[in-house]
Every structure is written in structure tokens, then in C-alpha cells.
Structure 1
Amino acid sequence: MSQTRDLRPGEIIFLSDGKNTVGAVKAHLTKRVFIETATEELVQFLEADDLIAASAFYGGEEAKHAISCMLYLVSGGHMPLLVLPKDHPATRRLPIVISAGRAIRLTSCIVPGTHPEQDVLCGRGGLDGLTLRGTGGGIAIDGDDKGLAIETGACLFYKNIK
């Protein structure tokens, strides 16, 4: 199953199964994201229709606010993405993880915060197995989205971007 939704610069889309939430924005003017690992610095170059997505391992308005803040830090605040070693104790405490790129596959089969590859993001529960793809003027959601709440709204941190 696949659906395409409008997603313009200045908007954010949320997908939630009630217990887990993913939010995504267009990269728009964000041309690159730095990725810091224990041994190197990588650069993920982005195009305007690429996505920056954050996955929270909880639901509700609190998750939406936290995701919005994290997406702002990466896209507007130029904060790098940090990649931890798989055995790092903080991987069990990460409430939100982020990925950026043209297509982002959500899976519960990875350790949160440990993948420098930007085509994968930890997505639990009903989000597991979905793929988000940036399209011209929108976002494609591939996979079984039955039972998910999907909503799009204004993303306040983009209000001054021209």
C-alpha cells in the first residue's frame, strides 16, 4: 500500500500508532547534515525535497513537541547527528532518533542511534516496515499504514525561512 500526501516547506507530518510517533519535514534550505561517529565525520548532502525525520518511542502531544524541537535543531540549528557504538549504554535511553535523506525506511530491527546510514530509522510498533520518500511537493508513505494517525500541520520553526 502506498499513499502520497502534500508536504510543503513550512509543514510537518506526523505518523503515530499511539505509542510511537514519527515526524518529518522537507529539507528545503538545509543542504547538508553532518554525521558524527566515534571515528569519523560524514556529510549527508540533501536536496530540497529530501526528508529530515525523527522517531520518538512514545506518543501524544509531548512526542510531537519533542520531534518538532529535534527537527529544528537539525534543520535550523545545524546540529550534527550523533552515531553511537552498538554497545554504548545510551542507546537504551534515546527517546528520539533522527535520519535525513531521499527515502527513509522505518524498522524495529536496529539499535537506536547506531546507524550512520541515513536510509534507515528506528520505527517501532505500527511504524515498523514503512518507508517515507520525499517527492516533488509531497511525501510518499509506502507500507501498511492502517491504524495510524497521520496529520500535517504548520511547522513553526520554518516561519521565517524564505
Structure 2
Amino acid sequence: MSSATVLKEKANISTSKHLILCILTGGFFSLMWLYRLLPEFNRITNSKISSDGILYFSAISAWFTWVFIPKSINFDNIIITLVLLLIALLISSIYFALITILVFQMRAALQEYAKKEFSIELKINPIYTFLFIFFHINYCINDLAKQVELKDLSEK
């Protein structure tokens, strides 16, 4: 069993299921998927993508933005409401920036891994990576196993 298949088995979900679960859980599924996948991803690809701080910040910021802020909004005091909304916007922006950096690090590690281990030039579109974040990385992990299989078949 190739390590591309092992990586796919560690991700353990199709991209469409990932998208549906992410929608149903308000994005928390993607964070848990990443938290579970990243140690194995680092081990298999031999990369050092640090994520614990980013994931903890993401969970806290998601809670703050989705749970605390809506319950704290008081339309009787518009100043406090605006301040809370600005804080939520700031935290959400930081969260998105950190997650984007993390996903682009995963993208680079996956490309390097494919080139080094399987001699495959894995083309991962940076625009899709930016737009579809976790879903595109999940798709690329699943696709890597297929590309390795096709390469093996073509060499025979």
C-alpha cells in the first residue's frame, strides 16, 4: 500500500461529504478534520506544519463570533453593538488569514511530497486553494492517490 493511499485513508472522507458536514456544523467539522489529520499529514509528508495554536484560536474565534456576539448584541445600545461587531470582524479576519496560511503550507507540503516520493508534479491551483480552503486540500489528498495509481498503471 503506497503512502499516498495511507494519506487518503487518514483524511477518510470524500470532498462532497466534507462540504455537507461543514455546512451542517457551521464549519466546526473542518476544524476537527484538520485537527485529526494534521499530525498524520506531517508524519507522512515529513513536513512541519504547526497548527495547534491556529486551531485553538480558530475554535475560540468561531465560538466568539458565532455564539458570544449574537447573544451579546443589544440594539438599545448601538455603540456596544457596533464595537462587538467590529471585534467579531477583526477576529474573523485574523482567523481567515491564519487558516489560509495553514492551507497554503499544506498545499506546498503536498506538492513537495508528491514530487519527492512519487515523481509526480502535483498541480494544485492556488486560486482554488484560496477559495475552497479545506475542501480543495481534501480533494488534492484524494486525487494524489488516484494519480499515483494511474502512474503505476502506465509504468507497467
The TM-score, its normalising length taken from structure 2, stands at 0.27
Structure with greater helix share of residues: 2
Greater per-residue strand proportion: 1
Larger-gyration structure (1/2): 2
Q: TM-score, normalised by structure 1?
A: 0.26
